[in-house]
Copies of this chain bind each other. A is one copy, B any other.
Amino acid sequence: MAFKKVKSSDRHINQLARIVGGSSSILYRKEDLLAYDCDGFTIHKALPKAVVFPKNTIEVSEVVRYCHEHNLPFLARGAGTGLSGGAIPLNEEVIISMVRMKRLLSVDLENRRAVVEPGFVNLKLTNSISDRGYYYAPDPSSQYCCTIGGNVAENAGGAHCLKYGVTTNHILGLEVVMPNGEVIEIGKNGIPDEPGYDLLGLITGSEGTLGIVTKITVRILKNPEAKQTVLAYFNHVSDGSQAVSDIVSAGIVPAALEMMDKVAIEGVEAAAYPVGHPKDIEAVLLIEVDGISAGIDEQIRQILDVCRNRNVKEVKVARDEAERGRWWANRKTGFGAMGAISPDYLVQDGVIPRSKLPEVLSRINQISNESGLRIANIFHAGDGNLHPLVLFDARKPGETQKALEAGSACLKVCADVGGTITGEHGVGIEKKEEMRFVFSDEEIKAQTDIREVFNPKNLLNAGKLFPAPGRCAEVKKEIKAAASS
């Protein structure tokens, strides 16, 4: 690709283009920018100033340094699958797209680690090493397209996080471009629990507000010797919920322990991957155990016993990998499946103590009745991570607002029973105000003080993660004042 200069009337565009290698590595015309006005959270939209596509850490660092010097707001973006609006350019940011930094840099099987660029797609890592018997554990439902860089920003979870932990448990090292353009390395040697403060943990899940990750060392795991998957149908949510508690109480740690309610089942059965779930039941459990072969059969026997003791209507074990695959496709496309039964839907992401599920579902049912909107529930039941999906029609006046309010009310319920407002999707712009359900002003200030250490000009992804009424506008004003002074 030959280097083509950009000649925009905006000198910043020209300079940024020069840094990243010309016109093929920058978008700045309004029609091109429209594709970047939101991410997986589609309710709020805003246009960036430009989108640049750096190829390496040096280019990222130079872009950041330029923005820092010229007081241009900026943020990083992976595949744009985030569900809380973390990559939406609220402040006319320069978006630094990581999609061209997508290499698998190294694999070290002996010490169980791999190094990737942030734009490397999650599932590709497992696909690259599965023939040698290894895999990467965190598996968000979007794993076929989301990037590991985005996973780090959001501390992404997934169905198998019950046994294996979320992204932060699998990150051994990071190269980070700080908001002033400096490059630092944390956990250089991929050794976990380094001395000093846990910066790795601090940056993972900081939703793109502390720095831009440009290289990631991850832990890889050996494929389990065996895997078995169970489907169990229950006439009553309370029975399904009790079965979840019983399985955990029996000392079994399933690799995954998922639940869907009646409305969710209606959706997944109407969409692309139906598997024939009965429609007259209140709950389906999808339970997977893995490990060495010798123990698996015994665990499955115990799980079947638990289900039968809790009045299961029907329970079955996947006969083969193909059937297992179909069950997981049905579950993993659960959010999108809502499109088959509703023009629009809003995903929420609360966490509750497992034992509170029946109470929470009944209160969510009440919210549904009061708002007049149907709510489906998909639940990582094992770790208490509940996804209420509020179904609505954005074309009907006022219904989007009603859906947002219903979603927020669901999170309030989660916080009220001793839970929290996000398990894996992050806060972004969507749940900023809901942060007040779980943090006091002082606790939020302790966090924004930390942000200030890393990001003193607050040019990097400002207005996200923490509530600050009117602060976005304020920041823009400050930036303009600084720029014109």
Of residues A184, A186, A201, A442, which shows the largest number of chain B Cβ atoms within 10 Å of its Cβ? A201
B199 and A245 contact, CB distance less than 8 A: no
A442/B202 in contact, CB under 8 A: no
On whether the beta carbons of A292 and B252 are closer than 8 Å, the reply is yes
Q: Mark A176-189, 1 if CB is under 8 A from B, else 0.
A: 00100010111011
Minimum CB distance partner of A465 in chain B: B196
Compute how far the CA of A223 lies from the CA of B250 in the bound complex, rounded to whole angstroms. 10
User: Is A141 part of the binding interface, using a Cβ–Cβ cutoff of 8 Å?
Assistant: no
A335 CB contacts on chain B under 8 angstroms: none
Asked if A106 CB lies within 8 Å of chain B CBs, one says no
Task: Report how far A454 CA is from B202 CA in the complex, Å.
Answer: 15
A449 to B224, CA, bound (A): 43
Which positions 3-48 of chain A face chain B at CB distance < 8 Å? Answer: none
Q: Which chain B residues border A295 with CB–CB below 8 Å?
A: 291-292, 294-296, 298
Contact with B along A287-307 (1 / 0, CB 8 A): 000011111111100000000
A303 to B368, CA, bound (A): 55
Which chain B residues lie closer than 8 Å to A199 at the CB level?
Answer: 446-447
Q: Given known contacts A292-B299, A299-B292, is B198 in contact with A204 (CB within 8 Å)?
A: yes
Residues of chain B contacted by A426 (CB below 8 angstroms): 195
Which residues of chain B are within 8 angstroms of A447 by Cβ–Cβ distance?
196-197, 199
CB-based nearest B residue for A289:
B292
**Cβ contact within 8 Å between A193 and B294:** no
The reply on A215 being an interface residue by CB < 8 A is: no
Copies in the complex: 2
The residue on B at minimum CB distance from A424 is B193
Query: Which B residues touch A296, using CB under 8 A?
Result: 295
Known contacts A292-B298, A298-B294, A197 near B450 by CB under 8 Å? yes
Kindly report which residue of chain B lies nearest to residue A434, judged by CB atoms. Answer: B195
Query: Are A353 and B111 in contact (CB-based, < 8 A)?
Result: yes
The digit string for A153-179, where 1 denotes a CB below 8 A from any CB of B, is 001010000000010110000000010
Chain A, range 409-429, C-beta contacts under 8 Å to B: 418-424, 426-427
Interfacial chain B residues near A210, Cβ < 8 Å: 197
A435 to B297, CA, bound (A): 48
A191 adjacent to chain B (CB < 8 Å): yes
Residue-wise, chain A 382-409 has the 8 Å CB interface mask toward B (1 for contact) of: 0010000000000000000000000000
CB neighbours of A198 from chain B (8 A): 168, 198, 201-202, 204-205
Q: State whether the Cβ of A206 lies closer than 8 Å to any Cβ in chain B.
A: yes
Bound: A169/B299 CA distance, A? 25
Whose C-beta in chain B lies nearest to the C-beta of A352?
B191
User: Is A268 engaged at the interface, CB distance under 8 Å to the other chain?
Assistant: no
* Alpha-carbon separation in the docked complex, A227 to B422 (Å): 36
- Closest-by-CB residue of B relative to A176 is B446
Partner of A449, one of B110, B195, B204, B453: B453
Task: Please report the C-alpha to C-alpha distance between residue A291 and residue B302 in the assembled complex, in whole angstroms.
Answer: 14
> How near does chain B come to A104, taking the closest CB pair, in angstroms?
20
A431 at the interface (CB under 8 A from B): yes
| Besides the known contacts A193-B423, A251-B292, 18 further A-B residue pairs in the complex with CB atoms under 8 A apart | A111-B354, A166-B193, A168-B198, A184-B442, A189-B353, A189-B420, A191-B420, A194-B420, A195-B421, A196-B439, A197-B202, A197-B205, A197-B206, A197-B450, A197-B451, A199-B447, A202-B450, A449-B453
Would you list 10 pairs from A and B whose C-beta atoms are within 8 A, ordered by A residue? A157-B193, A189-B418, A189-B420, A191-B384, A191-B419, A194-B438, A197-B202, A198-B198, A224-B251, A453-B453
A interface residues with partner B (beta carbon < 8 Å): 110-111, 155, 157, 166, 168-169, 178, 182, 184-186, 188-191, 193-199, 201-202, 204-206, 210, 222-225, 245, 249, 251-252, 291-299, 351, 353-355, 384, 418-424, 426-427, 431, 435, 438-440, 442-444, 446-447, 449-454, 465-466
